[in-house]
Amino acid sequence: MLVTLSLSALAMMVAGCIFPKAGPVPALVTAADVDRARYRWPDADRAALDDGRELFAARCNGCHGYPALTAVPEANWPAVVEKMARKAKLSREQADHVLRFVLVARVR
């Protein structure tokens, strides 16, 4: 029994290290978000950011809770989105929209 409890506790600790803490679905895209996006990516537009948010809202909660955007360092988001995009069967363009949305929304 003690071994079972220990293994359960270990599994929960490992899961906590792998998955970022959960957060709410981010708010709708704002004009300030679009400005921040255009500063980083001159070709960014509101439609792509809106698409990224909608994809994030629709797909990320399918397998796990919405990740708290600031719980993952900015430098790690490209790899996270790439991995999750494969699992969610997103196109390259869709994954790019999600990544740009996340990187803009995390600094609100």
Binning pLDDT at 50, 70 and 90, where does residue 32 land? very high
- The predicted structure's pLDDT at residue 1: 58
pLDDT at 10 over 50: no
Residue with tokens 């070709």: 43
pLDDT at 21 over 90: no
In the chain, domain spans: 21-105
pLDDT at 12 over 60: no
SS3 67: strand
pLDDT at 14 over 70: no
Binning pLDDT at 50, 70 and 90, where does residue 3 land? low
pLDDT in tens, 53-90: 999 999 998 888 999 999 999 999 999 999 999 999 99
pLDDT at 103 over 80: yes
pLDDT at 99 over 70: yes
Which uninterrupted H or E stretch holds 97? helix 92-105
Cβ atoms 37, 100 nearer than 8 A: yes
Chain mean pLDDT for the chain: 87
DSSP state of 63: T
